[in-house]
């Protein structure tokens, strides 16, 4: 079974036109936009040939746009946060200490600012039934932007 599968994979790889391989492997990776375009082309090729031929490459942290922020936690004021986020956009790993100033990628700032605890409220519908609705979110982190002039 495994040998037959390996032969099928080799057959598929040999059927891929050389122009497509050269096109994707020769793409420049100099900016965030280049990485997004590369990952899009790699996903399309992987889907077309039904094999993971090209790996998705996260953009290095140095190429992400950054902002200077003061980090604080609303739930545990003194405890540091060991934060890891690894996906198709970024591979980020850092310990964040409340009260410290950090220069973080905007992608991480947006991700952290969305985290929180939802508040639910029971509402009565006109027909007499009850439903639960999310009324608000208590943010878990505070990220205050620091502007320097």
67 plus 43 within the same structural domain: no
- Of the candidates 133, 63, 66, 57, which has an alpha carbon nearest to the alpha carbon of residue 102? 66
In a domain, 56, yes or no: no
Residue-wise pLDDT tens digits, 72-84: 999 888 899 999 9
**Range 84-97 average pLDDT:** 94
What confidence tier does 149 reach under pLDDT thresholds 50, 70, 90? low
Residue-wise pLDDT tens digits, 24-83: 888 889 999 999 999 999 999 889 888 888 899 999 999 999 999 999 999 888 899 999
Dihedral sign of CA atoms 104, 105, 109, 115 in order: negative
Total number of domains constituting the chain = 2
pTM for the structure as a whole: 0.76
136 plus 75 within the same structural domain: yes
70 plus 42 within the same structural domain: no
What confidence tier does 10 reach under pLDDT thresholds 50, 70, 90? low
């Amino acid at each position: 079974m495994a040998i037959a599968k390996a032969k099928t994979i080799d057959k598929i790889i040999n059927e891929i036109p050389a122009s497509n391989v050269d096109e994707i492997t020769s793409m420049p990776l100099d900016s965030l936009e280049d990485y997004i375009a590369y990952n899009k082309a790699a996903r399309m090729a992987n889907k077309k040939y039904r094999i993971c031929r090209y790996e998705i490459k996260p953009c290095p942290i140095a190429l992400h746009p950054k902002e200077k922020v003061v980090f604080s936690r609303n739930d545990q004021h003194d405890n540091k946060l060991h934060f890891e986020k690894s996906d198709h956009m970024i591979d980020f790993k850092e310990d964040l200490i409340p009260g410290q100033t950090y220069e973080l990628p905007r992608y991480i700032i947006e991700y952290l600012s969305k985290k929180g605890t939802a508040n639910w409220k029971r509402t009565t519908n006109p027909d007499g039934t009850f439903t639960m609705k999310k009324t608000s979110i208590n943010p878990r982190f505070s990220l205050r932007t620091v502007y320097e002039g």
